[in-house]
Structure 1
């Protein structure tokens, strides 16, 4: 008897008070748990209205057209580019903070990320912690303003190729053109001269078994590669300044 009454009561409530019982959300429509988000994007949040600043992390090795071994810590450029597009379209996000700690990686993938950052209309600030090596250098200088930790380093060296290399003049010409793309981008988006950058790139005796230079935090600023020595606090403060400055510019015009 009690079982029948409970069933009738539940059925009555279902038809008379539906608003009190929220509809179940299908599993495929639910927001991903934080752990899954961390595994996929390397962060706990995606662009949302909770903050006006989006933090983008680029860590490990930049993975490009080839999939790296699973034991490698990688940043996949096909994950980064959609995030930057989403940030550019989200009006509630007013600035981007890029945290950089990379050993380098795929040249074209790194340049693609750097070009995306440089072409954003919203203020961007980069912080190099640990290291911003190889193709990480163009990414570091792509933002509106860049910081580097005092203990961080940036390795500048010529373009290197792995795998099958055909020993013909066309191969070396291709490498030279790709290297010029990197040099041109870095010198355009920083205060370092082309002569100084190439001098650091081709310097011998600085790196063991390699050609190039490892530039530390203060030296990176002295050479004009990075704007300022600082960490997350200084970067956030400067980004907030850039956001406020952008708000004061009239639509379609510039401040005097």
Structure 2
């Protein structure tokens, strides 16, 4: 009598795949999902953008040394057709945030960003770096001048460095969105919007009307946009 193969083998493989996906969410806050339109990689950028210095114990962070090689891997991967970025960040290290934003902007893969709770400070360049940006109506974005904590050398060169760093941020945001550099700088230096500070806080629909974010929308809107980009990319490859 011939012995039947156990169908449990397939189940075990699916279980292992599910475990790997769940572990990826736990470890990196990311997930790869296969859809009829293509494979979508979802990456979260949350908490504080951690740069060269370790953030305080207990703080939620996005570590740029993890994100940069992962973005390079996604760009080169044949298994990924598009990347969805979910943002809820308080900002953080300016140069680390700009490095991530520049890498996102340089990707040829379809990309969409969605601002959820907030995308403050250096989170603004991250939000506009994708090909298409969305914000939910309740999303908040804080725009303010470059600030640094700790001991600084009180010399003209220090303030010149701050200004040049701020100019880099303004140039990046204005070149990857519909807002002009002059208007974005004016939002940075606004005096009557924040207590004990200068700057502006804008919300979902306001961010769209100002030209910072492309469209008000949530998860389904962002995914539909990403699917359209993926289909367009497939069409270009087929005709070339």
TM-score (norm 1): 0.82
What CA deviation, in whole Å up to 9, does each residue of 1:210-241 have, x standing for no partner? 11000011110000000000000000000000
Match of residue 118, structure 2, among 113, 121, 131: 131
The answer as to 2:79 corresponding to 1:92 is yes
Larger Rg: 1
**Aligned match of 2:195:** 208
**d(CA) in 2 for partners of 1:33 and 1:53?**
16
User: Is the strand fraction higher in 1 or 2?
Assistant: 2
**d(CA) in 2 for partners of 1:105 and 1:127?**
19
Moved over 4 A (4+): 31-36, 47-51, 250-253
CA contact (8 A) 1:48 1:93 kept: no
Give secondary structure in 2 for the equivalent of 1:52: strand
Q: How many residue pairs were aligned? A: 223
Structure 2 portions without partners, runs of 5+: 1-17
**d(CA) in 2 for partners of 1:247 and 1:222?**
32
- In the TM superposition, 1:1-256 aligns within 5 A as 37-43=24-30, 45=31, 47=32, 52-250=39-237
CA contact (8 A) 1:49 1:92 kept: no
**d(CA) in 2 for partners of 1:49 and 1:146?**
22
Alpha carbons of structure 1 residues 35 and 56: separation in structure 2 relative to 1, 3 Å: closer
Structure 1 portions without partners, runs of 5+: 1-30
1:33, distance to aligned residue in structure 2 (A): 5.8
